[in-house]
Structure 1
Amino acid sequence: MIAAKGYAALKVHDQLAPWPFERRAVGAHDVQIEILYCGVCHSDLAQINDEWFPGIFPMVPGHEIVGRVVAVGDQVKGFKPGDLAGVGTLAGSCGKCSRCREGQEQYCAEGVVPTYNGLDKFRDNLPTYGGYSDTIVADESFAVHISEKLSLAAVAPLLCAGITTYSPLKHWKVGKGHKLAVLGLGGLGHMAVKFGLALGAEVTVLSTSPKKESDAKELGAHHFVVTTDPAQVAAVSDSFDFILDTVAAPHDFDLYLSLLKVDGVHICVGVPPEGIHVKAFSLLAGRKAIAGSATGGIKETQEMLDFCAAHNIVADIELIDIKDIHTAYERMLKGDVRYRFVIDMATL
């Protein structure tokens, strides 16, 4: 076993605090990564607070993990000590079902093993612990390569916020000639804007906050619409081919569906607590669709990271000391971050 140290919630709703624990020894197909930075995702706080399902405690959050390989198993072929590497939301899958064989591990028929707050059911059935820690051991097939060209700290959020927005844009082939609306301008939304632009779409940001217009334009968005202004909303009725919805708060899906063209698609990547409620005619009148998308598979995550290296795309981040994690959570809930907190693990 490998001695590790991290920050953990010992029980539900607990404050994170230093916690020593053990990682598994490096197996034949494993890589051990010294964690240098870990992004802070809204889902970290949600899982500490059991907002989605009962958690496994003690819980070490964090699934936007980047660092440097320090050891590899004797059967590892894709990594060597010294390589930059990352681990995202997935730690394992069955590897045998049709979805896994097609590179869609995130939809494994047997259920994925999450990077934290899960049981490693395909290995030892022990709890998984995330990236608010100094080291992690991962199967090489669930680790990704990171380019030396990019700021490593700013790459960390790409492992969740990045792939969560890149995957649906690629799946629906969003690109040149399309009008893409990005609903919400936070950690996910700002990545959706960057990817939409890089893929050649005409990008509009939809937001309830007029104050975000300057931020949207700074990111390169072509247009901005305040969705609490009826005149602005009316002006973009029947306008968009796609809406990428990053909002995790309750919102009016019927309103946004009215902004889609015939055959338009409203793609949900946020998780509203009250679910999705829509009137049937909002879909029928225009052959419109509501779709959902989770994270991407490992092959697609590597594709996304390579795309980012080629287009010089990283997240806009604020680097924090791990002792300030709860202040960061408070600010995150208020939307007071542009656009993602990242923990400097040297402060652990």
Structure 2
Amino acid sequence: MTKGIIERNESDENQVVNIGDNLPVSMKIVQSIYNEITGKTERLSQTLRNNHDITFNDLKQLNIKIRQLYEQYNVVSKNCAVTVFHVNDCKEQFSSFERFEIYDSSNTSPCENVRLEYNFLIVLPGTQKAQPYKLTLDLHSRIALRKKASREHGMTRRILRIFATKTGNIEIDYVDYTVARNFMVAIDQWYKAVKHNKTAPFIEFLQDKSEQFSSIFKIFTLIIVIAVIFINREILINASSSNDVLFSLSLISFGVVYISGLVAAKLGSVFENAVDSHQAISGLHLNRGDELALEEFKEANAQSIRSALVSVVLIVTLNLFSAYMASLLSIGS
């Protein structure tokens, strides 16, 4: 007879399992015993990457939804803590959501992150011991992170821009999976209901191909320059051309091709950086600093578009200039 093996009966709606000598026990009781012996809890997490636009009213609605979920269970103890992180490396902590409601909205330092942490004890049916649960929700502001990155240099700036792609995180430490799943679904529904900003499909397409623009610009320019020189080869070189003339024309042609390629590759890099630096608006709107940072964010996006357009105009101008120089050589010869 095998002992110590737990078999789960998936067909039983009450999640009854057989343990030891095939003794049927509720899964909730098994989980409670496991937590009591080991003192451990499981964790359910989800990373958020949508471009949210969250206001204080959105957070208030979330708090209401969490409190409504409490009513479904026998919650014997609960508390909420809110922490607001600013880009000036300061933070404000509130021991309850009610205290968070008096947050100073005139603060001029943008909110980098807001963290809501809920701790509660639930006594589930069939158990007598209260089980601990911890729900942590982090919501990041890409607007604030970009402003913070603008003050940094080198690797630190690049790291902050990488982190800006992640806009939030949900973590639930639990004993009973069903309870944790209900809270996760409720938060997910709330998050889908808040305002989200979208990036233009054309911008997303360019960003997916951005690393290739340097090569594309260079190859396109080289093809144009080489084609112009090849078309005018009979005008540039004739039967009476001396070796000195051939050498000079070859040197000039090589120089034009080489320099044009370098300039085109540089313009391609400028275009790549401009496209990659354009980001969808995602942030928190809790204070005056967030509003000012939003204006700067929009201006930075507009500047990236201008830089991309200028690089395209310059690459077209470069190709036209190269063709013009080749025509001058043909006239001079």
TM-score (norm 2): 0.21
Higher relative strand content: 1
TM-score by length of 1: 0.21
Q: Which has the higher contact order (CA 8 A, sep 6+)?
A: 2
